[in-house]
Chain A
């Protein structure tokens, strides 16, 4: 038993370092760093590059990678991204950091090369020394991990409590405005905090690499597990986060003593432990009404806060030309492209339907759900199961499966109605991770990674016909989405999104409106998932990983989370661009599209409407300028027009 506890404490210590970093940056800057895993990967990969690939001595490589490169990365990211986020809406904060998490790893791979073998050394010299105190086994990497956590806690506590720097950080947490008025630069303090946070990310990444592997997936899992401790700490309490992280590590390890290591159930339950922790704490917080959006800063900060750049656009329903033109162009693609590219276009259109659900739930409803891909996956798996194992007609299977998934979305909607934006994002991400571990990985669906065969309708076997079928379904759901936006329901959804108090005093119930959005978005996601399965002719659980869902979201918000046609453009970009790069550029450039998607989402920090809306606005400005030049007499003041509205 003791050896399980010792191993668990080592794992918990890594979680604790990650959780401490997440808490410190959240309380000091108001940004919950979804890019933590990517930052950890970048530093760990750089350490590997120096130590293994360049042959640097271990201590020197560790100091340069963790002590210099890590903080430098933090400073750089603060300068280009994080400093712009403090005043942004929760959606922009989350989407921009997700964008960074999407872009950074492939950027590092582009610079340092893609690793084939993800086995990496820790900070202990090779071969790793093993000790046997009290009849248990401890290796040098584990000892270094304990020492690392102790050092972080001691140094961090001493810095925060007993130094002038710590005083400034605590002042920044309480009120950036008052901190500035006392002659301290909040920007400089934040810069230091982000540098320290990146150092911790790097340390956690290097420490976890020997056990989780030097891969983006391993680091992202570390981050997701650390989220659980941060949620337990209600995003603020450092001691609670560290304590829960250690407890999670121990539970994850000890539980393995009682599970059959050969059983499939063990493989599903063990990685789910952090997410079950998170779910339990979220429910506890929600039941006690302590999971709302925590106010950042002090009274003065809230009084002088301006929502610059996040002013929403009103829905007037103008502008049909660009969307119709886009749809017409897409409709022509299957007619002029060969079968390979037509297949990709069909996949992109199917994906667009799934992304339309994000447009509805996030773009319209303002609910930051990170599990639309899970609903799509459930729709795909159930539909394939019905079609293949029960002999249902494929389209009927897709429709019925989507209807069956709707209650899941409704329940999730009901559970998250009273939660703050960040908690909603975390709950939905957790739900996705749990569904992946506990449902998608079941033999019935996973089938050794091959998924379940999904037949297309007999009259749409070829890619061209299927592309048209997918486009027709997308258009039908798109028209439904536009109707919803312009209808009384759309007005109600917008009202509830922006002021629940104002809505309630008008007689508008918050619960039915949010449940409506949840149900519709879940249905659309599941239909999209079903069509993705039809496109691949297989329901592949690996295609519906929550981390892939983050890339989906990054692509969508890059294009624009509100325009319906944005989902179509995003779906096509996601499906087609990688193949364009793989076909016409060196293999090394294959991940450039993902980097572009990530940076597109990062750009939200500057323009929250997305690229499509930004260009539409620029086009309107140019056309207005041209009209003014042609008819100078028409130069008269006019009311400002709503922005970024492309259906």
Chain B
């Protein structure tokens, strides 16, 4: 399975990635590539291995075999923080926020880690804690917060924020490091339909304006197919399909993975998953 063809190497690429947990093969020789400026979707039923692949790509999990490349450079044995410094950012299915910080402080910290890293040390001897932030930092941080409609919450601690707001904050924090490639794990989970549409617009704007590459894991298949240039489908740790949204939508293997062999001709995989999601939401409401 190959990714989009291009002259420049993909921003991030998985080559034959296999992950085993004891006897369980969570990922079996998976290939995936995210070209510069592209939006790539990653879909699959529950337990397909999507989050495991994210963990491998972001450096939180070392694969049993295979390689991860960033801009053509092998980073398989490179730590998560080193990959982050190389331009990789990600969000989590369960947001990994810092409850001791306010919404704005999350974004400020991320911005400084990218643009003023030395301040971790220099602030201690230059009384940096008592100085005002620079104008450029304020402009950039406030801009990101406004773009994700987080301005009303800027001075609130994140403990107690609604799940959807927490997800938006994670995205804002990830954007503040000016990533080359952004991995988003279920970004629309917890958002209502209007917020999901706004998020989609924000993400596509991000790609268009800043050239950020996106890799998106999402249960909202309509969202994925709507904004992705290329889609990969995983099932039981194996890549079963890859192509444009239209190709994936029509792939019988994908239909089988989602619907079983007795597929319903009237319901495509996307609709079925969407129905599942709505059922799930109704059940948890």
Q: Which residues of A contact B (CB under 8 A)?
A: 307, 311-317, 480, 482-492, 494-495, 497-499, 501-509, 512-513, 516, 639-640, 642
Contacts and interface: CB of A to CB of B under 8 A. Distances in A.
Identify whether the interface residues of A are mostly helix, strand, loop, or mixed: helix
Interface size, B (range): 35 or more
B60 A505 contact: yes
Interface stretch (B120-128, B142-150, B244-252): B120-128
11 contacts: A311-B99, A314-B156, A487-B119, A491-B109, A497-B98, A504-B60, A506-B177, A507-B114, A508-B113, A513-B120, A516-B120
Contacts of B79: 504
Interface stretch (B42-50, B62-70, B100-108): B100-108
Interface in B141-188: 155-160, 173, 177
A502 B100 CA distance: 13
A484 B124 contact: yes
Interface string B75-106: 00001111011001110100011111110010
A488 B123 contact: yes
Contact of B90 (A484, A498, A503, A505): A505
Contacts of A312: 99-100, 157, 159
B116 interface: yes
B102 A311 contact: no
Interface string B124-143: 10011110000000000000
Nearest to A496: B98
B129 A483 contact: yes
A506 B85 CA distance: 8
A505 B58 contact: yes
A503 B79 CA distance: 12
Contact of A504 (B80, B99, B120): B80
Contacts of B124: 480, 483-484, 487, 489
Given A314-B101, A507-B84, A507-B85, A489 B96 contact: no
Q: Which 10 A-B pairs have the closest CB atoms?
A: A486-B129, A502-B96, A507-B84, A487-B123, A314-B157, A487-B129, A483-B129, A488-B119, A494-B100, A311-B159
A491 B116 CA distance: 13
Contact of A494 (B84, B98, B156, B160): B98
Contacts of A504: 59-60, 79-81, 84
Contacts, number: 134
Contacts of B158: 314
B120 A489 contact: yes
Contact of A642 (B113, B120, B157): B157
Contacts of B84: 504-508
A448 B267 CA distance: 87
A486 B130 CA distance: 7
Contacts of A498: 97-101
Given A504-B79, A505-B90, A507-B81, A315 B101 contact: yes
A220 B150 CA distance: 52
Nearest to A317: B129
Contacts of B130: 483, 486
A505 B80 contact: yes
A507 B177 CA distance: 9
Given A487-B124, A495-B98, A640-B156, 13 more contacts: A314-B100, A315-B101, A317-B129, A484-B129, A485-B129, A488-B116, A494-B100, A494-B101, A498-B98, A499-B98, A505-B84, A506-B84, A506-B173
Contacts of A482: 129
B112 to A, nearest CB: 5
Nearest to B121: A489
Nearest to A498: B98
A502 B60 contact: no
Contacts of B105: 314-315, 491, 494
B27 interface: no
Given A488-B116, A507-B177, A483 B101 contact: no
B110 interface: yes
Given A483-B124, A489-B124, A504-B60, A509 B81 contact: yes
B102 A505 contact: no
B39 to A, nearest CB: 20
B169 to A, nearest CB: 11
A490 B129 contact: yes
Contacts of B101: 314-315, 491, 494-495, 498
B55 to A, nearest CB: 10
A488 B128 contact: yes
A505 B61 CA distance: 12
Contact of A506 (B59, B102, B110, B116): B110
A507 B86 CA distance: 9
A488 B155 contact: no
A497 B113 CA distance: 16
Nearest to A509: B81
A639 B108 CA distance: 21
A314 B102 contact: yes
A646 B129 CA distance: 16
